């Protein structure tokens, strides 16, 4: 059964797929350029998934999976790739979802992200957010930003990830990577501990709860650059999400903190290229300036898109304008944009 799994992972890597799905009753299935493609293999059985799980999990991980019904972990095959994995129980059987993590950290130029991101990450402190739905490349963008710092700056960087995806080597920076569950119990505990570890930059894999968001804002306020992700679709929903997670009596103070410490919000979507041979990232970029800061403090967040539109000279852009530009340059497929608009 391990052979079936490794064969599926090899095919996923060779074909440039982003994911491999192992589920009972169907063949191994890859996600290639956003589309699911079943491999020409026999359907997976419950015995197959049991054998796979027993072969790749430790006794501690197996116990946690049996207790919780799901488990996040990382897995690697030497000379092939690393994978972010979620194992979960469904209809009394186990399924696995493998996200392919390339061996090499991509650079910002190869991702074709807005050039302004380089300068934003040179800020000495503040909160820099990368947002978007699952599978939109948020972790890859953060890894590329950390790699850019590692090549060009001298900083102490601490990452909190669930699980660790890209592996960074010390270069000009010292990079400490901590995995939730193995190295620290939670994002909030790891973040509080990081404040006592002399960091310049703290990367938070996901701001999931009030305590993590509160501590991230405090870290930004006390002189650290905090990079983090949120599952939000644009700048407006991101600001709303952060404020709304707090009790009503605390939201006024949080608005003041956020207005002062927010560096930027970059919201991402992935669209296929016109020939469907790859995918390109479209990004909304909101950079916190006096106008944006004022809107956050004064509860006028709904006006943020208008400020973004009139500040293109400051390298801001809405998602709509980015998509229009990419369509005009024939970088993405028009049909995929129509589907996105219908879903939106």
Q: Which helix (H) or strand (E) holds 95?
A: strand 93-101
Cβ neighbour number for residue 45 with a 10 Å cutoff? 13
CATH number for position 75: 3.30.450.90
Four-CA torsion 247, 251, 252, 258, nearest 10 degrees:
150
Looking at the structure, tell me whether residues 20 and 61 fall in a common domain: yes
DSSP string covering 108-177: HHHHT--THHHHHTT-SSEEEEEE-STTSSHHHHHHHHHHHHHHH---EEEEEESS--S----SSSEEEE
Predicted local distance difference test score (pLDDT) of residue 341: 65
Predicted local distance difference test score (pLDDT) of residue 138: 95
Q: Which of 322, 315, 270 is nearest to 111 (CA)?
A: 270
Cβ neighbour number for residue 276 with a 10 Å cutoff? 14
Q: Is the pLDDT assigned to residue 215 strictly greater than 60?
A: yes
Choose one of 101, 131, 146: the last residue of a domain. 101
Looking at the structure, tell me whether residues 67 and 204 fall in a common domain: no
Looking at the structure, tell me whether residues 81 and 128 fall in a common domain: no
CATH number for position 144: 3.40.50.300
Cis status of the peptide bond prior to 196, with omega within 30 of 0: no
Predicted local distance difference test score (pLDDT) of residue 334: 87
Looking at the structure, tell me whether residues 91 and 117 fall in a common domain: no
Looking at the structure, tell me whether residues 311 and 282 fall in a common domain: yes
Q: Which residues pair with 75 in a beta bridge?
A: 83
Provide the residue range defining the domain that includes 78: 2-101
Q: Contact at 8 Å (CB) between 304 and 235? A: yes
Looking at the structure, tell me whether residues 57 and 112 fall in a common domain: no
Looking at the structure, tell me whether residues 177 and 300 fall in a common domain: yes
pLDDT digits (tens, 9 = 90+) for 125-135: 999 999 999 88
pLDDT digits (tens, 9 = 90+) for 266-290: 999 999 999 988 899 999 999 999 9
3-class secondary-structure state, position 268: strand
Residue with tokens 């650059």: 225
* Number of domains forming the structure of the chain: 2
pLDDT digits (tens, 9 = 90+) for 289-344: 999 999 999 999 999 999 999 999 999 999 999 999 999 999 999 887 876 765 55
Cβ neighbour number for residue 154 with a 10 Å cutoff? 11
Choose one of 57, 83, 101: the last residue of a domain. 101
Looking at the structure, tell me whether residues 132 and 249 fall in a common domain: yes
Looking at the structure, tell me whether residues 140 and 65 fall in a common domain: no
Looking at the structure, tell me whether residues 22 and 140 fall in a common domain: no
Choose one of 68, 101, 134: the last residue of a domain. 101
User: What pTM does this model have?
Assistant: 0.87
Interval 83-99 mean pLDDT: 94
Q: Is the pLDDT assigned to residue 4 strictly greater than 90?
A: no
Mean pLDDT of the chain: 93
Looking at the structure, tell me whether residues 226 and 319 fall in a common domain: yes
Predicted local distance difference test score (pLDDT) of residue 342: 57
Does residue 107 or residue 88 have the better pLDDT? 88
251-271: buried (b, 16+ CB within 10 Å) or exposed (e) per residue? beebbebbbbbbbbbbbbbbb
Looking at the structure, tell me whether residues 304 and 242 fall in a common domain: yes
Q: Is the pLDDT assigned to residue 265 strictly greater than 60?
A: yes
Q: Which of 144, 167, 164, 147 is nearest to 155 (CA)?
A: 147
């Amino acid at each position: 059964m391990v052979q079936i799994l490794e064969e599926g992972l090899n095919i996923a890597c060779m074909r440039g797929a982003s994911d491999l799905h192992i589920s009972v009753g169907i063949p191994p299935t890859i996600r290639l350029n956003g589309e699911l493609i079943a491999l020409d293999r026999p359907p997976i059985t419950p015995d197959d998934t049991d054998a796979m799980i027993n072969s790749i999990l430790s006794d501690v991980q197996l116990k946690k999976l049996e207790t919780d019904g799901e488990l996040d972990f990382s897995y690697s095959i030497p000379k092939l790739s690393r994978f972010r994995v979620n194992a979960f129980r469904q209809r009394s059987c186990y399924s696995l979802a493998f996200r392919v993590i390339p061996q090499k950290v991509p650079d910002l130029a190869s991702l074709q992200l807005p050039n302004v991101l380089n300068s934003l990450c040179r800020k000495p402190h503040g909160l820099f957010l990368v947002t978007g739905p699952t599978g939109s490349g948020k972790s890859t963008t953060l890894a590329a930003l950390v790699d850019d710092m590692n090549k060009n700056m001298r900083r102490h960087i601490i990452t909190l990830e669930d699980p660790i995806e890209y592996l960074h080597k010390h270069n000009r920076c010292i990079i400490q990577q901590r995995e939730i569950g193995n190295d620290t119990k939670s994002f909030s505990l790891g973040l509080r501990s990081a404040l006592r570890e002399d960091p310049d930059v703290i990367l938070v894999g996901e701001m999931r709860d009030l305590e993590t968001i509160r501590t991230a804002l405090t870290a930004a306020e006390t002189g650290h650059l905090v990079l983090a992700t949120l599952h939000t679709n644009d700048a407006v929903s991101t600001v709303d999400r952060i404020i709304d997670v707090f009790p009503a009596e605390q939201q006024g103070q949080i608005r003041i903190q956020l207005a002062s410490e927010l560096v930027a919000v970059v919201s991402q979507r992935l669209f296929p290229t016109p020939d469907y041979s790859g995918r390109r990232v479209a990004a909304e970029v909101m950079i916190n300036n006096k106008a944006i800061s004022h809107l956050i403090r004064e509860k006028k967040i709904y006006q943020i898109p208008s400020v973004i539109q009139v500040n293109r000279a400051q390298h801001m852009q809405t998602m709509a304008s980015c998509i229009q530009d990419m369509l005009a340059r024939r970088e993405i497929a028009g049909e995929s944009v129509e589907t996105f608009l219908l879903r939106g």
